Amino acid sequence: MDVRFDPSGPLKGRLTPPADKSISHRAAMVGAMASEPVVVTNYLAAEDTLSTLEAMRTLGTIVQRDGDRVVLRGVGMRTPDAHGETIDVGNAGTLMRLLPGWLAGQDGRSFRFDGDASIRRRPVDRIAEPLRLMGANIEATDGRLPPFTVHGTQLRGITYELPVASAQVKSCVLLAGMLADGGTTVVEPVASRDHTERLLSRLGVPLWRDGDRITVGHVDELTVEDIHVPGDVSSAAFPIVAGVLVRGSRLLIEGVNVNWTRTGILDVLQRMGAVVVGERERRQDGVVPGEEPVADLDVAHGPLKATTVEAEEVPLVIDELPLVALLGCFAEGETVVRGAEELKHKESDRIATVVNGLRGLGAEIEATDDGFVVQGGTGIRGGTIEAHGDHRLAMLGAVAGLASREGVTVVGMEAAEVSYPGFGDHVARLQRR
């Protein structure tokens, strides 16, 4: 589906972003592990998270959904069984990389994973390595790609040093650690999003942090409280950046999760001189809080200056780096992103697709081995951008069109439904105010 986004007048009004995708995935999984029914409110009803609910059904969980309210009657920690069915993850990379952690501890049972064409290009070797060290057997296509099969065993606890900071790999190992003999420790090179740790800690799982080390203990049974999912800051980032770039705009973004491991984009915007005001959670080292903090953010247009995003900051802004590239087009000076090799393993190779896409719209941007460099100050001319099935690239093109001089046509705009259902309607509503 091709959608045209013309240069916009001021964006005005209030907006509540979709529910957090990362937390929705995790809520469904722990609900399936629970020994009693679990109610999840404000669950994200998008393609990726609906794939997770369907995967839980495949494993034997009874799932009842009424809008954004989901009731899960799970199978318990140790009795999921797909009965020979393939677990279809669709386009959901988080599901593909987290769920094997739980299933690797199901001794004597095997689970086959597959997904769409995009998923079949996304490697799983980084979860396969620690799971094999814990005793599981992972058989992957060409040794590293889907479809793949997880053969569950009695797992043993390990200490695993992540070669690259990744919340998905960390979470996979922590979920496996709950079923392993002895404690399991993950060592992070730098901090990454901590939704799994917060959720498990809130549910009473033995879990503690010591500097860059997170350790989880063995769990026989999981009792889960009802879970409310806050608004997704990664989705909110698109209207936030639109409000920053489109002259005369003033927005209030309500109910946003401001967990410090997710608000790297707000730090970048602050450095660039953008006006985004709201209460923020401070960095918390050595603490595993149970609750996700929520705040309202006040956004206004303003002039921007260039910045540099270094490798240690990348995990806290990984999903918003395409927007950093767009912001760099409008900022005075040279904007640089380093240490972002992880972008190559998203729904598309986001270094290549973002650089090529924005260059096609008139940006002065060059790819590097681990990021990109943007020469700013000229903004965006306009043109056509291909989404490549990547929801964030589709929404990037839409925001670029609103701030451009000539407008942008997004080819494949339907990809936005993966994480932000109704994105186009939200944009239109802000334009009508």
Helices and strands: H and E segment counts in the chain:
12, 23
Does the bond joining 7 to the residue before it have cis omega, within 30 degrees of 0?
no
Is 189 within 8 Å of 162 (Cβ atoms)?
yes
| Sheet of 383-386, strand order | 2-5, 408-411, 383-386
From residue 119, alpha-carbon distances to 138, 247, 253, 394 in Å are: 17, 38, 32, 18
**Is 20 noted as a catalytic residue in this protein?**
no
Is 360 within 8 Å of 397 (Cβ atoms)?
no
- Tell me the two tokens of residue 310: 């270094």
Is 410 within 8 Å of 2 (Cβ atoms)?
yes
Task: Give the integer Cα–Cα distance in Å for 401 and 245.
Answer: 11
Task: Give the integer Cα–Cα distance in Å for 72 and 60.
Answer: 10
Query: Which member of 20, 194, 319, 390 is catalytic?
Result: 319
Is 343 within 8 Å of 390 (Cβ atoms)?
no
From residue 395, alpha-carbon distances to 32, 44, 115, 207, 334 in Å are: 32, 17, 23, 37, 23
Is 375 within 8 Å of 334 (Cβ atoms)?
yes
What is the set of active-site residues?
319
